[in-house]
Each structure stands twice: as structure tokens, then as C-alpha cells.
Amino acid sequence: EAQVTQNPRYLITVTGKKLTVTCSQNMNHEYMSWYRQDPGLGLRQIYYSMNVEVTDKGDVPEGYKVSRKEKRNFPLILESPSPNQTSLYFCASSLWEGSPLHFGNGTRLTVT
Amino acid sequence: TQLLEQSPQFLSIQEGENLTVYCNSSSVFSSLQWYRQEPGEGPVLLVTVVTGGEVKKLKRLTFQFGDARKDSSLHITAAQPGDTGLYLCAGGLNSGGSNYKLTFGKGTLLTVNP
């Protein structure tokens, strides 16, 4: 089954404790992206990757890192999480930038 | 500044009613996508429209792209409880060269009551 898999689905952590949210897709997509979704603010892009080893900032990249060492994986790293990063995070992939996105089921992160 | 405005923000209707939600912008888009997001899940693509004036139908859902490619609408006929969800529009903009920017609206939260 074609899918984007995120882990974990739920994560509660404390301020400053480094964490990684994994994302993997099995569709051989070139393009991958991370979004956060907050009430009243909608979906905002954090980082994206056009291909392996190519990443770029989205609209809200501060406090986040990503890497794209393999085509299928695109982890999101929070080196020192803060409470304002409490949010619902989505990973998405597509054939190329601009083609329809396939989203994962989300990771709900709470930073206390 | 919100590039894509969706209205209404919330909509609660009874089963069997018709409804229309709107996605408006001052920018011209090269394409526009509609997604539906159900609770606890990620958005799922419903349709992509690329030509000004284009109309696409998906069962009881009718999507229209404005002639000037600045706006779009989604009309649902005889809504059912299964249509409940957050409807998101996303406009694609070519910003030069190989750069392409997809911007999401904030969504319309639809509740269809049995």
C-alpha cells in the first residue's frame, strides 16, 4: 500500500530534550515536506526537500532541522524543543514539487 | 497576510442540504488543489484544477476554478455525515525558474448532522 508513515503518532516531552520525528514514504517520490498545523493558523510549511541531499526552508523553519540522506526518509529534528513547538506535525510527499501531496497521519507533539 | 482566504470558516448543516465553500485570493495560481482532512488523519487530495473556468465533478462534489484562476469553489449536493471534515484548498504559484510554492488556506470545517 502506497503510504507516508510517521512515527510516533503522539509524543510528550520536556523543554530542551532533543527529539526526532521520522517520516518514510514507499512511493519513490522526489519531493518531501514537513508541515505544522495549528488552530487558526492552518498548515504551515517547515522544511522541504526536492531530492536526496537537497533541503530548503519553508515558512516557519526556526527551531527545526531536517535531513534527506535517502530518498524514502525525511526526519524532522527538534534539537531543543520549546513549548511554542507544541503542534500537530504532518509529513508529506509527492512526485515533484507542485504535484498532489500524500500526507502521513500526523504526529501530535506536546512540549511542556 | 493570508494568501488564500477560505469561507466560511465553520459550517454546520443537516444531512441532505447543499452547501458551497469558497477559496479566494488576489493572486493568480497555476493550479489549485482541494483536500479533505478527517479527525486524526492527514489531508487527502480530492481534486486538482489547472485551467481557468474548469469544472470537475467527484460524485456529489463539484469543483470550479475561476476564469481568472484566482478563486475556486466546492459545492456539495445532498451532504451526508460522511462528508464531515476540514476542507482545505491549496494554490500553486510558480515563483520563477524551477521554484513552485504551494500555499494552503486555513480551511472550512464542515459538520453534517444526521
CB contact under 8 A, B100 and A106: no
Contacts 24+ apart (CB under 8 A), A62-66: A64/A34, A66/A34
**Distance of alpha carbon B88 from alpha carbon A79, whole angstroms:** 31
Mean pLDDT score of chain A: 96
Model confidence band, residue B95 (pLDDT cutoffs 50, 70, 90)? low
pLDDT reading at B98 higher than 80: no
Express each pLDDT in A71-90 by its tens digit: 999 999 999 999 999 999 99
pLDDT reading at B10 higher than 60: yes
User: How many other C-beta atoms are found inside a 10 Å radius of the C-beta of residue A15?
Assistant: 11
Name the burial class of residue B104, with classes exposed (0-12), middle (13-18) and buried (19+) by CB atoms within 10 angstroms of its CB: buried
| pLDDT (0 to 100) of residue B101 | 80
Higher pLDDT, B2 or B72: B72
pLDDT reading at B87 higher than 60: yes
DSSP element (H, E) containing A38? strand A31-38
DSSP string, A23-34: EEESS--SEEEE
pLDDT reading at A64 higher than 70: yes
* β-bridge partners, A93: A32, A102
Residues of chain A with C-beta less than 8 angstroms from the C-beta of B102: 45, 97-98, 101
Contacts 24+ apart (CB under 8 A), B35-39: B35/A101, B35/B87, B35/B88, B35/B89, B35/B90, B36/B85, B36/B86, B36/B87, B36/B88, B37/B85, B37/B86, B37/B87, B37/B88, B37/B107, B38/B84, B38/B85, B38/B86, B39/B85
Measure in Å the smallest separation between the Cα of A21 and chain B Cα atoms: 15
- Over range B20-29, report the average pLDDT: 95
pLDDT reading at B94 higher than 80: no
The proportion of chain B whose per-residue pLDDT surpasses 90, expressed as a percent, equals: 83
Comparing A8-12, B2-6, B57-61, the range with the smallest average pLDDT is: B2-6
A42 close contact with B: CB closer than 8 A: yes
| pLDDT (0 to 100) of residue B19 | 98
Among B48, B100, B104, beta carbon nearest to A100 = B48
- Over range A18-31, report the average pLDDT: 97
Measure in Å the smallest separation between the Cα of B106 and chain A Cα atoms: 4
pLDDT reading at B54 higher than 60: yes
- Over range A29-47, report the average pLDDT: 95
Among B43, B92, B106, beta carbon nearest to A103 = B43
Model confidence band, residue B99 (pLDDT cutoffs 50, 70, 90)? low
A90 close contact with B: CB closer than 8 A: yes
Q: How many residues does chain B have?
A: 114
Measure in Å the smallest separation between the Cα of B3 and chain A Cα atoms: 12
Using only the alpha carbons of chain B, give its radius of gyration: 14
Are A56 and A65 in contact by the 8 Å Cβ rule? The answer is no
- Over range B22-50, report the average pLDDT: 95
- Over range A42-70, report the average pLDDT: 95
